[in-house]
Structure 1
Amino acid sequence: MSSDIRAFVSSCPICASVKTPRTPPAGLLQPLPVPSRPWSHIAMDFITGLPNSKGKTVIMTVVDRFSKLAHAVPLQGLPSAKEMAVLVSKHVFRLHGLPQNIVSDCGPQFIASFWREFCKLLGVKVSLSSGFHPQTNGQVERFNQDLETTLRALCSKNPNTWSSHLSWAEYSHNSLVGSTGFSPFQAAYGYQPPLFPHQEQTAAVSGPAAFVRRCHRFWKGFRHRLLRNQERFTAVANRRRTAAPEYKVGDRVWLSSTDIPLKGGARKLMPRYIGPYPVVGIINPVAVRLDLPRTLRVHPVFHVSKLKPAKDSPLQPPPAPPPAPRIVDGGPVYTIRKLLASRRVGRGVQYLVDWEGYG
């Protein structure tokens, strides 16, 4: 391949959209801050697709990001934002107080205006994961996997009985010793729950003051272990990643089409990237907000591993500016080249068109 052809392939916008990436994913690991006490920062999610068990088909999972203590609440179906506010108040706030931060995905319950206003009135910050990047909410995603594995082992012969085993599956997770050397129950309350009566004496405390002092001393040491584990996990994860470009507002980027529902044609021959789209906001070093067209009904915040910078081709001149508008009866006149789509908005119809130009 000559140097001219190679330069064209590397810079052509069409080639950039169809080529399969051969480099490690961009964006070094950016772990969430480690809390300093239990239940100040929590993560939430739902497990769906379960068989009907006493009228329950969904599990709401809540994980404390400090101690990893988890609650699993069986539900009849996915709740609305208002119903979720009632459930969280009953199963989390009532037992552990109001958290400072709630991490979740971009489900319809979590992006609803009711849920946002509810958390805002309580002084709780809502943190949503970036589009198609479940690693942001990895704490609860991992618990969901362990919970499904436990339920699969307990009721593999009779799946419709999973709701009866859910409390024991939750107990087994909360009492299991992890990589820090302590169980989630011990990290939250300062002692390991006794399994048998003869162990009760080792779990007893001398008094409330001694219990509080021991908890604070234990939480300090436990947080040190969490930070140490986080540094080790970050170093291992970054071996298979590359540093992301420093995007700025106004930059144009290509968006991976892997998780985008594209229409028409075989998926095998669809472009690997779509766009380019302008960057309109920088959420953090590994998450940016894009200005997407209305036809893409997805969350506009993406992890940098889903993006790549758009390079202007030196072989293709930039598009010519539109001609001056044609004024008729004191107003500009537009010529429509093609009607792309239409939808009903209230009692009217909204059209998406492709303009021929102003003239």
Structure 2
Amino acid sequence: MTSRIIRNSYPCPASLGHSPFEMLFGRQPRTLLDMLAEQWETTEEEIKDLLSYAQDLRDNLHTVWEEAHAALREAQTKQKQGYDARSAVRSLTVGDKALVLLPSSDNKLLARWQGPYEVIAQINPTTFKLAIPQGSGGEQVYHINLLKRWQEPSGGQPIR
């Protein structure tokens, strides 16, 4: 009983369904309690020849790998469904104004929305070129994840 508790305490990633030890060696690790339990419970030692041991090991590894691949595919499908449920396709068009998430000058780790800047070109579906007037050559390329569409305030005066 205690050997089963210890064996089950080895970390087993949910996406694989098997511990790294079992994935590598095709069996659960033998702890000291396992060895003691084997001595107490068995009277005659079973001796396997090398060929049958190798065949059993190959079969165990094949089974574990198949189960791990199936569990991994299932976990990937669940993760993709979860991501797709929360994500939305964003896009900008040439001429739009956008805010850019950039580090502030005081602290590299503190980012804030800066702009608005005009989108002057779409390089690919997720990359846009913006006209940046502040001493950086006039144009910069940004990924869509760093951009947010600028919406004019309803009162006519920009709010900063």
Report the TM range for the smaller structure's normalisation.
Answer: 0.3 to 0.5
Q: TM-score of the superposition, structure 2-length normalised?
A: 0.47
Q: Higher relative CO (CA 8 A, sep ≥ 6), structure 1 or 2?
A: 1
Q: TM-score of the superposition, structure 1-length normalised?
A: 0.25
Query: If you compute each CA radius of gyration, which structure gives the higher value, 1 or 2?
Result: 2
